[in-house]
Structure 1
Amino acid sequence: MAERYFYKDLLPFGAMVTMEVINVALNTLFKAASMRGMSYHVFVVYSYAVAAILLLPAPFISRRSRVLPPLSFSVMCKIGLLGLIGCTSQIVGYTGISYSSPTLSSAISNLVPAFTFLFAVIFRMEKVAIKSSSTQAKVLGTIVSITGAFIVTLYKGPPIIILQRSLSLNQPTNNILRSVDRNWAIGGLLLTVEYTLVPLWYIVQVQIMKEYPNELTVVFFYNLCVSTMAAVVGVITETKASVWKIGLNTALASILCSGIFGSILNLAVHTHMLHLKGAVYVAMFKPLSIAIAVVLGVMFLGDTLHLGSVIGATVISIGFYTVMWGKATEEVDDVPRQEPPTTENAPLLQSYKTKWSEKTMDGTV
C-alpha cells in the first residue's frame, strides 16, 4: 500500500514541483541572456535542435526495448500539430518574457489550469458534476488562482526588498524596472496567448500518448518539428548572420540548459505525467511557479519584490491547494468499493449445510 502511494501520488507530485522549479529557472536564465542581446528566435531553434540531436537514438532504442504500435501517419500528423502549437507558444512566450519578466510569465501561467479544465470538459476528457464537492473545489480553486494572478499583475504595492546593482547582472535596476513598465502590456498580451495554447498542447499530447505510449520517441519527433518550424520563422525574421553566432556566454548556457533540462527532461516528465495522471493534474502545478519566479527574480535579475507579489502568491497557493484537494477527492471517489459477498456467491456453503442436515436426520452423525 505504501509503495503504491509512493509511485502513484508522492513521486508524481515531487516530479511536477521539481519541473516547475526548473521551468522558472530556465526562464530566468533566458531573461538574463536576452538582456545581453540574444534573439528569442535563435534561442528556440538552437535549444530544440540540441534536444533533438541528443534524443536521436531514442526511436531505435524504444523499438528494441519493447513492443510498440506502428508509428502511423495519423500519429505523425498529430505530432506535427503538437509541434506547430509548441513552436507558436514558445516563440510567443519567449517574446513576452523578453518584453516583461519571468515573474509576469509565471503569474499569467495560472490561466493554464482554468483553460485546461475548460478544454478538457469540451473534449469530454474531464467529468463535470456541479453538485460534486470535488468539482466545486476545482472550480473554486481555479478562480482563486486566477484572482491571485490578477493581483500580481495589476497591483504592485510598496517595495519590500530592493537589491543592490551588483546582483542585477551588471544592469541598473531602475532601468530594468522602467523597461518592464514600458513593455508590460505587450509582454502580458503575448504571454496570455502562450498560456492559452499550452492547454491545447496538453490535450493533443494526451491523445498522442493513447495511440503511441512512448515518451522519448514522441519527444524526439516533437523537438525535431519545433526546431524545423522555428528555423523557418527565424530565417525570415533574423536576417543578420551575426545574430546566429553564439559565444561562450550566458546565451550558450541558456541554450544548453533549455535543451537538456527543458526540451528533454521537462518534456519527458510532462508527457509521462499526462499519460499517467491527465491534463488537469499537470496544469494544476502552474500556480507554484509564481512564488518560485519572485524568489529567483529578486535573487538573480535584481527585480524589486513588491507587496502585491507576496499577496498574489499567497492567494495563488490557496487556490492551488484547493484544486489539489478536489482532484484527490475525485480520485478517491473513483476507486471501486468492494461489496459484501451474497448467498449467490457461496453455493458451496449452502450445499454443505444441506448435506449436514440430511446426515443429521439419517442419524449418521
Structure 2
Amino acid sequence: MTLNQITYFVGLKNSTPTIACALSNLLPALTFVLAVMFKQEDAKLKTLGGLAKLIGTLIAVAGAMMLSMYHGPVVPIGESAIHLRAANNAVNDSARGTMIGPVLVIISALTWAIWFIIQAKMGNFYPAPYSSSALMLGMATVECSLFGVIMVPHKQEWSLFPSIRFVACVYGGVVCSGIGVCMMSWCIQRKGALFVSVFSPVLLVIVAVLSWVILREKLYLGTVLGSVLIVMGLYSVLWGKSKELDLHKVDTMEDIEMH
C-alpha cells in the first residue's frame, strides 16, 4: 500500500493525468498474468470461459487506452448546467513529463496487482477483510508518515490550507482508502483478484461523465467508444467467470454422484 501510493503520486507529478490514467489501466492485464502464474485463475484458453476472460481483459484495457489517449471529434450533446467556480482556475500542466513518471505509474499498477493476489490468498487463511484492511492501512499510515517527514521536513508542506487540500485528504483517506479498500478486500475474498481488478477501467467512464457534468469538459468520440469497449470487456470477463463457475458446479456434482 505504501509503495503503491508513493509511486503513483510521484509518477503523476512527473507525468500528465492522461498518461497516468492510461497506464493505471494496465491493472487488469497485470492481475490476470499474476493470477495465472500463482494459480488463482486458470487460463484454460481451450474453454469458452477461459477465452472469454482473456479477450474481455484485453478489450477492457484497449478501451481504457482509447478513452485516455484518443479524443476524436466532439460529441454534440451540449453543456451541463452544473459548473464549479474552482474549475475556472484549473491550470493545464500537461507540458511537464519525463520518463520517470510513467515508469513509476506502471510500478504502482504492478504493486496494486500484487496486493490483489496477496489479498486473495490471505482470504483463505484469514477471512476477516475489515480487520485485515485496518491493520494494513494502519501500517501504511505509519510508513507513509515517516517517509513524508524524511522527504519533506518543512512544516508548511503539511498544512491543510487552502481548503481543497483538506477536502482532498479527508476524501482520500475516508472514502478511497477506508471504505474503498474494505470493499475491495470483501469482494476479492468472494470473487477473486481478477474479478475485482477488471472493474478498474470503469473509473475512466465515471470520471468522463463527472468531468462533463461538473467541470463542463467536452465529451469526445474517443470517450464514448472507449466506454463501450470497457463495458464489453467487463461483460466478457463476467460471462467467462460465470461459465467457469457453472462448469465447476457440474464437476462437483459428478464427483458427488461417483462417491
TM-score (norm 2): 0.84
Aligned twin of 1:355: none
Structure 2 CA distance, aligned partners of 1:170 and 1:287? 24
Post-superposition offset of 1:214: 1.5
Relative to structure 1, the CA distance from residue 297 to residue 100 in structure 2 (aligned partners, 3 Å threshold; closer, same or farther) is farther
Alignment of 1:107-256 (within 5 A): 107-160=22-75, 167=84, 169-172=86-89, 175-176=91-92, 179-183=93-97, 188-247=102-161, 249-256=163-170
Specify every segment of 5 or more residues in structure 1 that has no aligned partner in the other structure, as ranges.
Answer: 1-85, 346-365
Relative to structure 1, the CA distance from residue 117 to residue 316 in structure 2 (aligned partners, 3 Å threshold; closer, same or farther) is same
Q: Is the counterpart of residue 310 in structure 1 residue 224 in structure 2?
A: yes
Which range is displaced more, 133-142 or 227-236? 227-236
Alignment of 1:311-350 (within 5 A): 311-336=225-250, 338=253
Relative to structure 1, the CA distance from residue 181 to residue 324 in structure 2 (aligned partners, 3 Å threshold; closer, same or farther) is farther
Which range is displaced more, 259-268 or 184-193? 184-193
Could you say what secondary structure the match of 1:121 adopts? helix
Greater length-normalized contact order (CA 8 Å, ≥ 6 residues apart): 2
Residue pair 2:28, 2:194 contacting (<8 A) in 1 also: yes
Q: Is the counterpart of residue 93 in structure 1 residue 2 in structure 2?
A: no
Post-superposition offset of 1:105: 4.7
Structure 2 CA distance, aligned partners of 1:184 and 1:306? 27
Residue pair 1:137, 1:325 contacting (<8 A) in 2 also: yes
TM-score (norm 1): 0.62
Per-residue deviation, residues 242-293 of structure 1 (Å, max 9, x unmatched): 1112147122122222222222211111111111111111112112111101
**Match of residue 263, structure 1, among 161, 166, 177:** 177
Q: Please give the root-mean-square deviation of Cα atoms over the aligned residues, in Å.
A: 3.0
Could you say what secondary structure the match of 2:200 adopts? coil
Residue pair 1:168, 1:300 contacting (<8 A) in 2 also: no
Specify every segment of 5 or more residues in structure 2 that has no aligned partner in the other structure, as ranges.
Answer: none
Structure 2 CA distance, aligned partners of 1:138 and 1:283? 12
Structure 1 CA distance, aligned partners of 2:98 and 2:53? 30
Which range is displaced more, 330-339 or 192-201? 330-339
Q: Which has the higher Rg, Structure 1 or Structure 2?
A: 1
Post-superposition offset of 1:223: 1.0
Q: Residue type of the partner of 1:272?
A: W
Structure 2 CA distance, aligned partners of 1:145 and 1:300? 26
Post-superposition offset of 1:299: 3.3
Could you say what secondary structure the match of 2:86 adopts? coil
Per-residue deviation, residues 31-73 of structure 1 (Å, max 9, x unmatched): xxxxxxxxxxxxxxxxxxxxxxxxxxxxxxxxxxxxxxxxxxx
